[in-house]
Amino acid sequence: MERLAGTQSGVTSTAASSVAGVQSVMSNGVAQSEATTPGIRIATSNLHLTSAAGTPTTRLTPAADEAFDLAKASESRADGSVAAGDVLPQTTQAKEVDGENQISAADYNPNEDRKHDHERLQRLHAQQHPSSTVEASQTEIAAGVGEPGPDIVNVDAEESEYEEVEVEDEDEDFDMFSMDEPKKKKTIRRKKEKILATGATAAPLIAPVPVIPALQVSHLVDNYDDADGYYRITPGELLDSARYQVTTNLGKGMFSAVVKAKVIKAVDGDEVLGQEVAIKVIRSQESMYVAGRKEAQILAKLAAADPGDKKHIVRLIRTFEHRGHLCLVTESLSMNLRDVVKRFGKDVGLNLRAVRAYAHQMFLALSLMKKCNIIHADIKPDNILVTESKAVLKVCDLGSACEATPDGGEITPYLVSRFYRAPEIILGLPYDQELDVWAVGCTMFELYTGKILFPGRSNNQMLHLMMDLKGKFNHRMIKKSKFGELHFDEGMNFRSVEKDKITGQDVTKTVIISKPSRDLKSRLLPPSSVQMKMKDDELKLITDFIDLVDKCLVLDPAKRLTCRDALLHPFLGGGGTTA
């Protein structure tokens, strides 16, 4: 949800060194790229994958004498042939499909859907736990709308590591006429001290955040925070003992506000003077702090498992505390993939070779998270950033991320943003990293077409759209699911909740689904007249792409493609290393 954006400066990314896809020719460590209209053209010499044995494999980029375009070509080549990915079927270009409006990936704003999902989650908690509606609502807000990570929502285990103590308020204004009055006290929240073998106490990894009683120090809230606990950030403001200077306010999400800042005081060699960084300022709520600390721990774990920075996860540099807010400092990047589509492929999508390069990098990120037993739980174009050259991407915003558990995690129907939400989440089944594979499949379709694949207004309609494309769920999944009875009757027929065209009210209709009414080929494969003009290798490229997306969207997560299988798929080279 959060956008950690900015310009890549002072941070040299080595992420593309083993990556299939677009990588600028490197000269003296600086990426050289040439922007053109309508797309970005990037020189791509000396680019290839190596297999686990170290032997060259199929290129995932154009040949050395070709250029890489983000945008689709507007005209045929001189020889009359058409490149794969340049032409979409009419059904995909149409404004409606089967009477339903298609949603442009470029124009979609997830904030409104997050609001609706939050309201639905509140109602669900009210029905299931009438006596704890307020407490449940607070937990939902803390966890983020539509993205409550299992290890974030349930913070009892985290709380056992902390204690609340009273200390004298050193910030209290001096009053010469009140010398005899005792000093006021304030409550702070700190990590319990651990006694080392030497008898010394261990310092906490991340500084504790004070718990500020709102009634006692409301003037501080008025000065520093808004009513929702977001820190009021001012461009030019100095943070962390004048180590950073804020340059741009990038906006805010459910967990935090994000700024771009410049390093004006380099300390301990962690950063370079003048380097641009992104700083995520967590909201000043105790549960938010726990969530932010969890995200920092997960990022640190992933970075430790990827010392060469080759797996495309945003790098956490350090953390600090500022006026009661936990702050996460990360490398600074450029626009997110939704903005890339908006700029270079609005309503038509990106060139297929660009999609292939980005897909490979996304699956490398998933492979690292799988290795570290981490579920991202909110993969979507908004949470994937690119470098300034657009050649390399990084998966970011792990505010919803959690560790995979043997029992399949806490069941909630609103994990992951709705358009990218896997069916096992909606049905209430145990889940693992396969929910991220589903989200990447939706994202690949979106990058290539410029359209949302499953634009459901609710979880119920999401299931309907999924079955239109993939057929009916097997009865075993429905019977084992926690929320199956909300969407299926006793005969396993789908209970479709639709808007009455006259009254506008929701009505439930029984729909018998036996086989898919749509297929990916009709949405992705160019017309036969265009196929005849395509070269054989490019026709194979588009059919391989359709096959990969199709396997990412298998309804049963147990039969869905794994990230390792994806990296070995023909569309991604069929032999790239997954280590």
Q: Is 358 helix (H, G, I), strand (E, B) or coil?
A: helix
Using DSSP, state whether 142 is helix, strand or coil: helix
Count the helices and strands in the chain (H runs, E runs).
18, 23
| Assigned token pair, 50 | 């190596």
State the DSSP string of 221-267: HHHHB-TTS-B---TT-EETTTTEEEEEEEEE-SSEEEEEEEESS--
What dihedral do alpha carbons 374, 454, 356, 86 form, nearest 10°? -170
Which of 415, 439, 400, 463 minimizes the C-alpha distance to 549?
Answer: 439
Extract the runs of DSSP E, i.e. beta strands, from 121-241. Answer: 162-168, 185-191, 194-195, 201-202, 238-239
| N-terminal to C-terminal alpha carbon distance within the chain | 29
Q: How far apart are the C-alpha atoms of 564 and 436, rounded to whole Å?
A: 13
- Active-site residue flag, 378: yes
Pick the closest to residue 295 from 415, 401, 150, 147 (CA basis): 401
Please check whether residue 395 is in contact with residue 372, taking contact to mean a CB–CB distance below 8 angstroms: no
SS3 359: helix
Out of 86, 113, 117, 378, pick the active-site residue: 378
Query: Which residue type, as a one-letter code, is found at position 389?
Result: S
Residue among 238, 277, 284, 283 at smallest CA distance from 257: 283
- Do 412 and 143 contact (CB within 8 A), yes or no? no
- Alpha-carbon torsion, ordered 233, 235, 240, 242, to 10 deg: -150
Q: In angstroms, rounded to a whole number, what is the distance separating the alpha carbons of residues 414 and 148? A: 8
DSSP letter at 540?
H
Q: Are 192 and 223 in contact (CB under 8 A)?
A: no
- How many whole angstroms separate alpha carbon 303 and alpha carbon 305? 5
Tell me which residue has tokens 């943070």. Answer: 239
The residues that are catalytic are 378
